[in-house]
Amino acid sequence: MIKALYEIGKIHEKNYDETQQFTEDLGAKYTATITINVETKNGSLIYTGCSMEKKKDVNYLYRKTPSARFDPYSLTLKPAKHGPERIIDRFIKYCEVHKGKLISGIEKVLKENREVIIRDIEVAAKNCDKNERYFVTVVISGRYVGEIEEFRKIFLGEVQKLPKSRAGTCFICGKETEVGAKVSDILKFATIDQPGFAYRMNKKSHDITMPLCSECFAKLALGKKIADEKLTLNFYGSCDSYDSRVYVLPRFFGERIEKHHRFAQNTLAAFDSLTNTFKEENGRYEKFERKIVAKLGKEETYSTLNFVFFMKARKKDEVKLYLNIQDVPPSRLKMINFAATSIENELKSLGSPYIKFETLWKVFKGYSQLQKKATDKNPVPPSDFLKCMQAIFKGFRINLDPYKKAALRYIHSFKMNADEKERKNLFFERGNIVAMGYFLDRLNNLHEGGRLDLSKSKSEILKDFFELYPDFFKNDELKLTFIIGMIHSIFVDIQESQGYTGTADQRIKGYRMKPDDFKEHLSYMKSKFKYYLTKIKDASHVEFMKRLFEIAGEYQLKAGMKWKSSITDLNYAFLCGEASKRLLMSSNENKKEIEDKEV
C-alpha cells in the first residue's frame, strides 16, 4: 500500500503545484466557505466584512494542524468547539509567529476588528444549510492564501520541516540520509499489520517507525492526497461515527516509470481514465460495487490494482485498516464480471436478481444489526465478509458453508421481523442472496453456464437447472428439498392471497429442518392443498401444483430413507427452491396440460 501510494505521487509530482503535495482535502461535507475579506486602501489593509460562498476549486493551503500546535499552517481553518473566537485567535497567533509586511498588516486588522469579525462569522454561519458545513479563510484583495507567494513559502517551510531530524535510513528509498518524518505522519492508520501495508517490512524489521527523507515524504503525501481525492469509493457499513471506504490503488510496473518517459505519459492518461470510471453523471463518485469491477476490467494499462478496505472516523484522523487485497490483475476482474453476468443471465426468468457486494455485506452483517439505529450500529466489517471479498478478488477457493449459514439466518430474521412494507421486498432479497451463492460457487468452478430452454418439460428444465449448479444439488435429497422449497413458496403465496395470517413459513423451524421435517412438511402441504383446491379459481394453477407434487414424489423415491447431506446444505437447497418459484412457470408443459384438460 505504501509503495502504491508512493508510486502514484512519484509519477504525478510534476502535475501538481508544490504546495498541493502537502495540502489535505477539507472533506466532502465542507461545501461552504466564510471568507474574511481584507482590502488595501491608501497603502494600508482594512477589514471589509465576511461573506459566504460555495467552496471553489482553489488552493486554500489547508492542512490539519497537530493537536499540540496552536498556530495553523495557513489562514484556513475549520471551526472548532470554541467557535469563531478560537479561529481568530489562531489566525492572530499565525501572524505573530510568521513575520512579514503583508502578514503584519493582517495581524493588525485581525486584532483591531476581532469582535466584529467574530460576530460577522456567526451571522454568516446561520445562512448555512442544515446539512452543510463551513470553513473559514482569509481573502486579501480578492486573492486566496494559496495564490500568494508569502503564504506558500511559509506553508512549505513548516510542512517540510523534519521533526527531530537525524541521520538514518529512509524506509522507502533506502538511502542513508537525514530523516525525521514518519509514515504515520501521512498514513494515520490504526493497523499497519495487514499484509501489504508496508512493503519490505517483516518480523525482522528493526525500525517500525518507518522514517522518511524529505523527498519520499513529499511523494507519499501527494500519493495519499490523490488517493483521497480521486481513488476513494464509499462502501457499505457507514454509521454516525465512521465512514466505510475503499481505496483503489493502481500499480504501474514499478521502476519502469522512472526509465521510460513515454510510459509515464501513458500512465498518466490511464490514471485519468481509471479515475473517470468511478464518476457518475452528476460528477460524484460511485459506491464500490460490481459494476465498478466491470469498468475496471476494461482498463489494461495498469499492471495490477490494490483494494484497501478501511473505516475512517468522522471529525478525527483515526483510520482503521481492515483488508488490503494486493495485486489484482485486470484478467481477474474480467473473470469476476464474466461469472456474475453469466449467473444474472441464467436467472433472468426467476425475477432478474443482481450480483452485488451489498448482498454479501447484508448477509454477513445480519438483518437485526442492519435494522439498528445509526448511533448503535457496529461499523466493523464481519470477518467472514472480509474473507469472502479476499477470495473473490484473489481467486482463492471460497468456503460456501459460512455464507449458507449466514444467508439462512438473514432470511429467517427478515421473515420474522420485517414489517409489511419491507416484506414486499422479500422476493428480491431472497433472489439476490441465492444468486450470490451461485456466483461464489461459479468462481470456484468456472464454466460457461447458459440460459435454460423453457420450452422443455418441467422435469427436463429441473434437470438442466441442477446441472448448472452441481455443488448445490449433488444428490437427489438436495434436489428434493429444492423442489419442496419451490412448492413451499408458492403455497405461502396461496395462503396469503386467501387471507390466512398463519402461513407455512411458521413451520420451517428457522431453517434448521432435519430430513424427517422436510418429509413431514411435504405431506402437510399435500393434504392442505386438497383443501385449497376448491378456492383456487385458475385451473392452470391447480394443474401446475399437482405436477410439482408429482415431481417431488419422484425425487423422494430416488432420495430414499437415509439422507447424508448436512442440515445446512438441505435447508439452503430449500431456500434456493423458495427463490426459484418462477422457474417452471414458463414451461410449455403448462399450456399442454390446460389444453388436455379442456379436451
Q: How many Å apart are CA 473 and CA 126, to the nearest integer?
A: 63
Same domain, 256 and 390: yes
Same domain, 346 and 457: no
Q: Is residue 3 part of a domain?
A: no
**128: nearest Cα among 78, 73, 75, 81:** 78
Same domain, 33 and 148: yes
Instruction: Kindly report, residue by residue over 321-345, the tens digit of the pLDDT.
Output: 889 999 999 999 999 999 999 999 9
Task: Give the domain-ending residue among 409, 437, 465.
Answer: 437
pLDDT of residue 162: 60
Instruction: Kindly report, residue by residue over 152-177, the tens digit of the pLDDT.
Output: 999 988 887 766 678 888 988 889 98
Instruction: Name every residue whose Cβ is closer than 8 Å to that of residue 95 and which is 6 or more positions away in sequence.
Output: 103, 104, 106, 107, 110
Quote the pTM value.
0.81
pLDDT of residue 592: 52
Q: How many Å apart are CA 65 and CA 389, to the nearest integer?
A: 36
Neighbours of 195 (CB within 10 A): 11
Asked if 484 contacts 552 with a C-beta cutoff of 8 angstroms, the reply is: yes
pLDDT of residue 494: 83
Same domain, 301 and 390: yes
Q: How many Å apart are CA 73 and CA 157, to the nearest integer?
A: 10
pLDDT of residue 155: 92
Same domain, 581 and 471: yes
Same domain, 376 and 490: no
Same domain, 269 and 373: yes
Asked if 243 contacts 311 with a C-beta cutoff of 8 angstroms, the reply is: yes
pLDDT of residue 264: 52
The mean pLDDT of 561-575, rounded to a whole number, is 96
Task: Give the domain-ending residue among 437, 471, 487.
Answer: 437
Asked if 397 contacts 391 with a C-beta cutoff of 8 angstroms, the reply is: yes
Domain around 174? 162-222
Q: How many Å apart are CA 214 and CA 366, to the nearest integer?
A: 47
Asked if 402 contacts 440 with a C-beta cutoff of 8 angstroms, the reply is: no
Q: Is residue 557 part of a domain?
A: yes
Instruction: Tell me: pLDDT of 60 over 90.
Output: yes
What's 458-510 look like in SS3?
A: HHHHHHHHHHHCCCCCCCHHHHHHHHHHHHHHHHHHHHHHCCCCCCHHHHCHH
Same domain, 400 and 485: no
pLDDT of residue 163: 64
**38: nearest Cα among 151, 137, 128, 122:** 137
Same domain, 473 and 592: yes
Same domain, 133 and 192: no
Q: Is residue 13 part of a domain?
A: no
- Using pLDDT thresholds of 50, 70 and 90, give the confidence band for residue 290: confident
The mean pLDDT of 519-547, rounded to a whole number, is 83
Q: Is residue 446 part of a domain?
A: no
Q: Is residue 153 part of a domain?
A: yes
Element (H, E) at 110: helix 101-112
Same domain, 297 and 251: yes
Q: Which of 33-47, 209-223, 502-516 has the highest mean pLDDT?
A: 33-47
Q: How many domains does the chain have?
A: 4
Task: Give the domain-ending residue among 222, 251, 270.
Answer: 222
Same domain, 167 and 257: no
Q: Is residue 85 part of a domain?
A: yes
pLDDT of residue 80: 78
